Amino acid sequence: MIKLEYGIPQDKGATHLRFGIAKGFFRDEGLDLNLRVVFGGPEIARCYDSGELKIGEMGTPPATTALANGARFKIVGSGIRRRALQYLVANDDIKSWPDLKGKNIGVLSKGSCSYWFARLVLEGHGMDPDRDARIVGLGSRHAQVVELFESGELQAGVLSEPTVSIGEYRGAFRMMKALSEPEFCPSMQWSVTVANCDVIEHEPALVAAVLRGCKRSYQYSAEHDDEFAEFGAGHYGIDKATMLRSMERERTDLHHECVVDMAGLDLAIDLQHRLGAFAAPMRATEITDLRYLP
């Protein structure tokens, strides 16, 4: 049995893989898989670059930015959230876009997916993200993001499920805008599985085994809604109805095959280039190695 840490960039991510671990799908592949949280996009990218983490997942905004700057990892598959399933949430005092001026907008970290999406939505509504609002990188405090709304430290944020449904249930905020809508991120590839270049070269069977376990976890979760909802509710300490609501919000945009949408990845690269994350253009084929997909 091979012990392996699989990276995830925030504490409430990869619920489908947690479920797959509990079901024994990775043990069937000879893997003792443990999820390791490294809060933040650039932060976890550095772990893949150095080899501190052999394999794991992240979003395309920090992934493509790191790869454009020479990071030593490749995209080897797609996560279950192939589309940009993040949401701008806000407290009750914010009624319109101008109300965001001067407010604290919580994101995972500077340079993370939510950071770039926050900039995108502010610019799209005529605001300067560096002057008109304060984008707050939370780092490890992201685990307490609902509490930061409840205390008044944050007035808005860019979050994903199940955190959005948890915060709605507690009355901490409401969902103001889904950033998956065409005006923001049309059909771009979002969550990706990445592997360090040395691991791809020297341990290709390990990459293939992880991807098989991921695909089986994704597909089983889709086919067993009630069981997955029970698991998620128990893991996060929430009621089952809240977990089911979070699942329903994402359902039509989930993909279960680990297959990268190459045209969507090119769109993600183009978006980062347009936002000024890097200067030199590149293509999806330059930063992927898809030989080990199940």
What tens digit of pLDDT does each residue of 199-232 get?
A: 999 999 999 999 999 999 999 999 999 999 999 9
What's the CA dihedral at 270, 133, 38, 216 to 10 degrees? -50
Instruction: Give the C-alpha separation, 213 to 196, whole Å.
Output: 18
Contacts of range 277-283, beta carbons closer than 8 Å, 24 or more positions apart: 277/61, 277/64, 277/65, 277/68, 277/116, 278/64, 278/65, 278/68, 278/69, 280/68, 282/64, 282/67, 282/68
- The CA distance from 247 to 67, in Å, is 31
What mean pLDDT value characterizes the chain? 95
Q: Which two tokens stand for residue 126?
A: 């005529």
**Is 90 exceeded by the pLDDT of residue 69?**
yes
**Mean pLDDT across 139-146:** 97
Q: What is the pTM of this model?
A: 0.94
Q: Tell the residue number behind the tokens 């992880």, with chain if given.
A: 210
Instruction: With cut-offs at 50, 70 and 90, classify the pLDDT of residue 271.
Output: confident
- Please state, in angstroms and rounded to a whole number, the distance separating the CA atoms of residues 22 and 43: 27
Centroid of chain to Cα 82: 9
What pLDDT, on a 0 to 100 scale, did the predictor assign at position 180? 76
Domains of the chain: 2-82+187-286 (3.40.190.10), 87-178 (3.40.190.10)
**Beta-carbon contacts of residue 43 (< 8 Å; ≥ 6 apart):** 9, 109, 139
Whether 105 contacts 158, CB under 8 Å: yes
Tell me the sheet residues that pair with 2: 31
pLDDT attached to residue 91: 94
80-118 pLDDT, tens digit per residue, is 999 989 999 999 999 999 999 999 999 999 999 899 889
Locate 96 and state its tokens.
Answer: 């319109």
> Angle 60-68/41-50 helices, nearest 10 degrees?
50
Structure-block tokens of residue 106: 């919580």
pLDDT at 173: 96
pLDDT (mean) for 257-266: 97
**β strands within 23-103, DSSP E:** 31-37, 55-59, 73-78, 87-90
Residues with Cβ within 8 Å of 10's Cβ and at least 6 positions away in sequence, in order, are 37, 39, 108, 142, 143, 160
> Which pLDDT band, with edges at 50, 70 and 90, does 237 fall under?
very high
Residue 7 has pLDDT above 80, yes or no: yes
- Point out the least confidently predicted range of 12-21, 24-33, 108-117: 108-117
Q: Which residues pair with 7 in a beta bridge?
A: 36, 56
